[in-house]
Amino acid sequence: MKIHFPLLPLLLASLIVVDPAGFLAGPRVCQAEVVPQGDAATETPDKPRELKRLPPPLEDVIGGLHELERSGHFRLLQMEMGRPRVTEMDAVVWTVRVVRPLTYRHALLLLRRVGDVRIARVRDDWQKQLLRTRLAWPDWIESGAVHGDVLDRDAEFEVWIDLDARTVGTLRRDQANRIVFLPLPL
């Protein structure tokens, strides 16, 4: 009897932390060329569209959630300051569309790869972490992963980072300028 684990490579890849000592020096720091949001003609699967800056009032913070698009399963449609549909907290909200059908378990693994969020102030010779938080997603993704459900093509959901007005004010005062998405620790 041969046992097949189709998600084992994804699970193992999500456990690898690229640069634990210098969290901003790793390859997840956004350094790709920016494609304007409205220019859909230049988008290719090899070069995903990137929402490079957070929305006002945090427009000085550079970084992107483009790692989700890189998998080929998701496309980021919109990013805004507001409230997600499932909570009353103020947040930075990304609307995500499913491009290729996948199981909820696979979607959860991909989201966990970018679930550890860090906002920092970075200069040429130093960096200071100002905030560490978690990327949030709807509870139905985790419950669907337990039941083996499938996310259909063109399904949409939101992911978000809870940022209340006080935290936003602190980040602006401390001159935050970088956001990085890392894998969640186990």
Give the tens place of pLDDT for each residue, 104-114: 999 999 999 99
Interval 127-156 mean pLDDT: 94
pLDDT at 51 (0 to 100): 59
Which is more confidently placed, 45 or 151? 151
Residue 49 lies in a domain: no
Residue 18 covered by a domain? no
Question: What average pLDDT does the segment 90-115 reach?
Answer: 96
Specify if 94 maps to a domain: yes
The pLDDT score that the predictor gives to residue 13 is 47
Classify residue 31 as exposed, middle or buried by CB count within 10 Å of its CB (0-12, 13-18, 19+). exposed
Task: State how far the Cα of 143 lies from the Cα of 145, in Å rounded to an integer.
Answer: 5
Structural domain of 103: 62-186
Listed in sequence order, the residues at least 6 apart from 109 whose beta carbon sits closer than 8 Å to its beta carbon are: 7, 10, 11, 14
Please tell me the distance from the alpha carbon of residue 20 to that of residue 26, in angstroms, as a whole number: 8
Mean residue pLDDT of the chain comes to 80
Considering the domain boundaries, does residue 77 fall inside one?
yes
- Note whether residue 68 is domain-resident: yes
Residue 152 included in any domain: yes
Query: What is the side-by-side order of every strand in the sheet holding 116-122?
Result: 127-134, 116-122, 178-182
Q: Among 7-21, 31-45, 113-127, 140-154, name the one with the lowest average pLDDT.
A: 31-45
Looking at the structure of the chain, the number of domains it has is 1
Cα–Cα distance for residue pair 91/82, rounded to 1 Å: 5
For residue 170, pLDDT beyond 70: yes
In contact, 117 and 180? CB cutoff 8 Å: yes
Range list of H helices, 73-127: 104-112
Residue 83 counted as domain residue: yes
Note the helical H segments in the chain. Answer: 8-15, 67-70, 104-112, 139-147, 165-173
Predicted local distance difference test score (pLDDT) of residue 2: 52
Using CA atoms, how far apart are residues 100 and 115, in angstroms rounded to an integer? 21
Q: What is the arithmetic mean of pLDDT over 68-97?
A: 93
More confident residue, 13 or 82: 82
Of residues 49 and 162, the one with the higher pLDDT is: 162
